[in-house]
Amino acid sequence: MSKAIVSSLYDSDVFRMACRQFDKAADAINLPEAIRDRTKYPRRCLAVSLPVRRTDGSVTVFEGYRVQHNLSTGPSKGGIRFHQSVTLGEVAALAMWMSWKTSLVGLPYGGAKGGVIVDPNQLSQAELEHLSRRYMQEMVSFLGPHTDVPAPDVGTNERIMGWMMDTYSNHVGHLSPAVVTGKPLSLGGSQGRREATGAGVAYLVKKYLEDLKIPINKATVVIQGFGNVGSETALALVGYGAKIIAISDYTGGIHNAKGIDVQKALTYISSQRVLKDFGGGEHITNEDLLELKCTVLAPAALERVITDKNAHKLKCRLLAEAANGPTTNAADKIIEARGDIELIPDVLCNSGGVIVSYFEWLQNLSSFYWGRDEVMEKLYGILDKAKASVDAQKKKFGFSRRLAALTLGIQRVADAKAARGLFP
């Protein structure tokens, strides 16, 4: 009999949501008590203060975190989020999901996540660089190419990964590209990494539409969130022939039943930073956008946007979780009971990002670089295999697709922990 004695360190709605998902999956596979809590709770975390000198000469102290959920199956892996609503509990939940995601798709990693409470849009480039470097400096002894390997997430990008890699390399005294992924190509980044998450989402959407016998050129798509993941998903789906009828960012959304010119929206964002006043359709709120009638709905921003308030109002055929944790457990239940929506769960749907991060890490460790076609072919191969295993698990046990994905991910981590034993 095992019983966890834990504090409220991570306690939050989103951490409780991730824990409940775990409990349900652990029950479904009869995970032995002795291994449950070891598999469930994060291994360790670090919280740091990050003083940054501002352009006006003043100093602001930001707070940052890194949570390493599981290190039993390899170095932990996961992005770093810069967002004003980051909390330790959120980072812990995201780290937990990274464990199941890397495990599900068969990568030799554990799960981790980092975060800083900051709105990066409020910082100058110099301030952003100081903050990024300071974060890495505080983390030098906590992570590394064989310990924990960060990557971009909401609010971070290639340039930030480049600064972090440079900071780490200066500390250890030699170039160490494998310490972070999602770097610029000039610093050992991989072909295809920037678009990998969105390309993976779009590829899986295409495959599931094929299963549903819906021609992709007849599919209408709504995307909530137009950052790296949302915009790359949109571009890739347009490439497959789908019509994007609504997009949004935190300033609101645009709806156009005739189709949105995604390339034009991206050009607009590159100069204006936000979608506000883009035109190209009528304005719509983020809430209303989620309830639009469409073939595919892809939440591609933050957690917990599909809730018990709107789950029964969704009018999509396929719900593609491009974001991590976009659907609450209560909403999940409603969607399952409705039975008219196919769901591609986050740990499968957005795994393209970390898969190509793995390729980047391999290329860095071997100093041998691959072409884009090779990267994309290998990415799609892994996604095909993961999709097949999730759907087989779903069929075999009569699980929902989320439960199928989570049980597969959790089982492998639990097996590895059991096989390694418990250090006395």
Nearest in space to 181 (alpha carbons), one of 50, 363, 24: 363
Report 395-424 residues binding ligand GLU (CB under 6 A): none
* Residue 354 touches ligand GLU, criterion: CB under 6 A: yes
Report 121-160 residues binding ligand GLU (CB under 6 A): 151, 153
Tell me how far, at minimum, the Cβ of 413 lies from ligand GLU, in Å. 16
* Nearest residue to ligand GLU on Cβ basis: 79
User: What is the helix (H) or strand (E) element at residue 61, kind and residue range?
Assistant: strand 59-68
Interface with ligand GLU by CB under 6 A: which range of 18-26, 32-40, 353-361, 394-402? 353-361
Q: By C-beta, is 107 or 335 nearer to ligand GLU?
A: 107
Tell me how far, at minimum, the Cβ of 358 lies from ligand GLU, in Å. 8
DSSP state of 416: H
Q: By C-beta, is 150 or 281 nearer to ligand GLU?
A: 150
Q: By C-beta, is 78 or 188 nearer to ligand GLU?
A: 78
Q: By C-beta, is 245 or 413 nearer to ligand GLU?
A: 413
Report 76-115 residues binding ligand GLU (CB under 6 A): 77-79
Interface with ligand GLU by CB under 6 A: which range of 214-222, 306-314, 351-359, 404-412? 351-359
Q: How far is CA 57 from CA 51, 117, 391, 398, in A?
A: 12, 21, 56, 61
CA distance 118 to 64: 9
Interface with ligand GLU by CB under 6 A: which range of 15-23, 60-68, 115-123, 350-358? 350-358
Give the CA dihedral 402, 36, 30, 389, nearest 10 degrees.
40
CA distance 77 to 155: 17
Interacting residue with ligand GLU among 357, 363, 364, 407 (CB under 6 A): 357
Tell me how far, at minimum, the Cβ of 234 lies from ligand GLU, in Å. 18
Q: By C-beta, is 150 or 253 nearer to ligand GLU?
A: 150
Angle in degrees, CA 168, 170, 173, rounded to 5: 105
CA 96 to mean position of chain CA atoms: 11
CA distance 191 to 356: 9
CA distance 192 to 38: 35
Q: By C-beta, is 107 or 334 nearer to ligand GLU?
A: 107
CA distance 116 to 63: 6
Q: By C-beta, is 128 or 300 nearer to ligand GLU?
A: 300
Interacting residue with ligand GLU among 75, 89, 353, 409 (CB under 6 A): 353
CA distance 358 to 182: 10
Report 52-81 residues binding ligand GLU (CB under 6 A): 77-79
Nearest in space to 153 (alpha carbons), one of 133, 130, 132: 132
Tell me how far, at minimum, the Cβ of 65 lies from ligand GLU, in Å. 15
Tell me how far, at minimum, the Cβ of 371 lies from ligand GLU, in Å. 20
Interface with ligand GLU by CB under 6 A: which range of 183-191, 198-206, 290-298, 347-355? 347-355
Which of 40, 77, 101, 113 is catalytic? The answer is 113
| Residue found under tokens 């999730």 | 390
Cβ–Cβ under 8 Å, residues 116 and 328: no
Tell me how far, at minimum, the Cβ of 273 lies from ligand GLU, in Å. 21
CA distance 312 to 227: 27
Rounded to a whole number of angstroms, the distance between the first and last alpha carbons of the chain is 17
| Residue found under tokens 């009569």 | 398
Interface with ligand GLU by CB under 6 A: which range of 63-71, 125-133, 298-306, 349-357? 349-357
Cβ–Cβ under 8 Å, residues 285 and 224: no
Report, in angstroms and rounded to the nearest whole number, the Rg of the chain calculated over CA atoms: 21
Total site size for ligand GLU, rule CB under 6 A: 12
Tell me how far, at minimum, the Cβ of 329 lies from ligand GLU, in Å. 19
Classify strands 282-284 and 296-299 as parallel, antiparallel or unpaired.
unpaired
Query: Is 113 known to be catalytic?
Result: yes
Tell me how far, at minimum, the Cβ of 93 lies from ligand GLU, in Å. 11
Interface with ligand GLU by CB under 6 A: which range of 43-51, 249-257, 291-299, 348-356? 348-356
Cβ–Cβ under 8 Å, residues 236 and 226: no
Report 178-207 residues binding ligand GLU (CB under 6 A): 181-182
Cβ–Cβ under 8 Å, residues 394 and 404: yes
Catalytic positions are: 113
Return residues touching ligand GLU (CB under 6 A).
77-79, 151, 153, 181-182, 324, 350, 353-354, 357
